[in-house]
């Protein structure tokens, strides 16, 4: 159809439905299709198209010229190419753990992919206090396969450099450099800090020069350490789940960066689910059980990652110097250090910065929200400052439980 072949425009639901008919060999010619825009993220437009007779469906994801969260972010629509190519590569490295791509359209900056409506976004499921016994197993396979197998340890170095070039993602990296590494650490006008938390951020983070120096060092590591082809935004809103299945979506922030960035994002967002449950569940037994499952999951993710990483290293390493005694341990320990640091950065930026998480903003009692935010920021600072000593799953849990014990429950009457 000529309409979609001459120039780029942002699609309405009617356009997306028409577009779906142009995809070869998917829907029958006169299928009775319905279309709904279902995107709820900060960036793009997501259309679900279903054949009402057969119930066969697909997703069209289109990148607009600005971010959905704010027109202030002028963005390159190339992010849709990055997302498409990364999903295809991740499907080879970690089969079954990402949605299938059916089609990519450079002109319209959209991709067509598998509909995962039988899954639920992990953040929403965790806010309903659901548990996913296979999640730690699945996510650690995804992390090890996508992070180690794209690194210089395994890939031919010329092949790796050509991937670095293909996945250069300057505009979206700039967003992370600003929103994750810069703005949360001073009283920036772009921050959307909860008014009751501002004095705490000022006293504990913004006026601590030694702490801010650590965040500056981490920012330069994020910009300069082209270690692995990372997802770049692996929070619980980028993960679809069922009890049996995990699918990682949305790698538009992907680029060659520190491997620990992805792991730290997963851990921090599970901690947000923990803080939500701690503040909102009133039944003592239900709360204990749920917090226990989250604790176990966080611990398992760190420890299973280390185990699987070591096994995969032994199987796949090709770089001769990486075989020197002690190098594998040195390399893994630097990833765990970065994981702790990014856990801390993500905790701070989602509380202070522009882009918040529902786990915290949906805590109804203002005093409980203030307490959750203080715990998050205190933990965040600890993870960043003490990153070289936090290595095992138990180390991560110790930071969580000791910080919670320190910040006493407040008067909940406000």
In order of 19, 114, 120, 142, 308, the CA distances from 53 in angstroms are 19, 18, 24, 35, 44
Closer to ligand SR1 by CB, 110 or 179: give it: 179
Stretch 247-286: interaction string toward Mg ion, x if CB under 5 A:
---x------------------------------------
Interface with ligand SR1 (CB under 6 A) = 41-43, 67, 69, 73, 175-176, 179, 233, 355
Angstrom distance (rounded) from CA 48 to CA 119 = 14
Minimum distance from residue 346 beta carbon to ligand SR1 (Å)? 9
Structure tokens at 205: 């983070």
Minimum separation from the CB atom of position 257 to ligand SR1 (A): 14
Residue nearer to ligand SR1 on the CB measure, 172 or 384? 172
CB of 338 to Mg ion, least distance (A): 21
Q: Which does 175 bind (CB under 5 to 8 A by kind): Mg ion, ligand SR1, none?
A: ligand SR1
Between 84 and 306, CB nearer to Mg ion = 84
Nearer to ligand SR1, 21 or 171 (CB): 171
> For residues 42 and 367, which CB has a smaller minimum distance to Mg ion in the complex?
42
Q: Which partner in Mg ion, ligand SR1, none is near 100 (CB below 5 to 8 A by kind)?
A: none
Residue 41 binds to Mg ion (criterion: CB under 5 A): yes
Footprint on residues 374-403 left by Mg ion (CB under 5 A): none
Q: Tell the residue number behind the tokens 């749920």, with chain if given.
A: 290
Can you list the alpha helix ranges (DSSP code H) found in 225-365? 260-280, 284-316, 327-352, 358-361
User: Taking the mean position of all CA atoms in its chain, how far away is CA 355?
Assistant: 13
Nearest Cα to Cα of residue 43 among 68, 65, 24, 6: 68
CB of 65 to ligand SR1, least distance (A): 13
The answer to whether 1 touches 18, Cβ cutoff 8 Å, is: yes
377, 352 Cβ separation under 8 angstroms:
yes
Rounded Cα distance between 356 and 52, Å, is 36
Q: Residues touching Mg ion: how many (CB under 5 A)?
A: 2
To ligand SR1, the closest distance from the beta carbon of 255 in angstroms equals 13
Nearer to ligand SR1, 20 or 271 (CB): 271
Tokens of 114: 């598998």
Token pair recorded at residue 237 = 């809103």
Three-state DSSP at 110 gives strand
Nearer to ligand SR1 by Cβ, of 176 and 227: the residue is 176
* Cα 368 to Cα 294: distance, rounded to the nearest angstrom: 19
CB of 72 to ligand SR1, least distance (A): 8
Residues forming the site for Mg ion (CB under 5 A)? 41, 250
């Amino acid at each position: 159809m000529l309409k979609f072949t001459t120039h780029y425009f942002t699609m309405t639901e009617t356009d997306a439905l028409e577009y779906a008919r142009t995809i070869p060999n998917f829907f029958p010619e006169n299928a009775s299709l319905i279309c709904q825009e279902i995107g709820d993220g900060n960036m793009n437009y997501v259309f679900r198209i279903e054949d009402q007779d057969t119930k066969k469906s697909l997703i069209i994801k289109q990148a607009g010229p600005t971010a959905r969260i704010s027109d202030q972010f002028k963005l390159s629509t190339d992010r849709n190419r990055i997302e498409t190519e990364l999903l295809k590569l991740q499907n080879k490295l970690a089969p079954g753990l990402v949605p299938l791509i059916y089609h990519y359209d450079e002109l319209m900056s959209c991709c067509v992919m598998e509909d995962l409506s039988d899954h639920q976004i992990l953040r929403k499921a965790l806010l309903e206090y659901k548990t996913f016994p296979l999640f730690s197993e699945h996510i650690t396979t995804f992390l090890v396969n996508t992070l180690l197998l794209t690194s210089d340890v395994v890939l031919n170095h010329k092949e790796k450099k050509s991937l670095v070039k293909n996945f250069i993602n300057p505009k979206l990296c700039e967003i992370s450099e600003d929103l994750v590494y810069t703005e949360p650490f001073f009283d920036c006008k772009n921050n959307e800090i909860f008014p009751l938390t501002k004095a705490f951020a000022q006293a504990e983070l913004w006026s601590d020069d030694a702490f801010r120096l650590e965040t500056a060092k981490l920012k330069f590591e994020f910009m300069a350490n082209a270690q692995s082809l990372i997802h770049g935004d692996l929070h619980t809103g980028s993960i679809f789940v069922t009890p049996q299945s995990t699918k990682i979506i949305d790698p538009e922030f992907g680029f060659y960066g520190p491997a620990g960035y992805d792991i730290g994002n997963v851990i921090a967002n599970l901690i947000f689910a923990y803080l939500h449950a701690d503040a909102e569940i009133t039944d003592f037994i239900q709360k204990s059980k749920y917090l226990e499952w989250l604790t176990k999951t966080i611990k398992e993710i760190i420890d299973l990652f280390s185990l699987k990483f070591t096994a995969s290293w032994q199987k796949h390493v090709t770089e001769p110097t990486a075989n020197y005694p002690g190098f594998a341990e040195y390399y893994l320990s630097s990833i765990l250090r970065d994981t702790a640091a990014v856990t801390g950065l993500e905790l701070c930026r989602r509380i202070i910065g522009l882009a918040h998480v529902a786990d915290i903003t949906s805590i109804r009692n203002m005093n409980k929200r203030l307490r959750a935010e203080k715990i998050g920021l205190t933990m965040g600072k600890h993870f960043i400052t003490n990153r070289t000593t936090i290595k095992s799953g138990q180390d991560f849990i110790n930071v969580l439980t000791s910080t919670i014990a320190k910040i006493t429950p407040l008067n909940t009457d406000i």
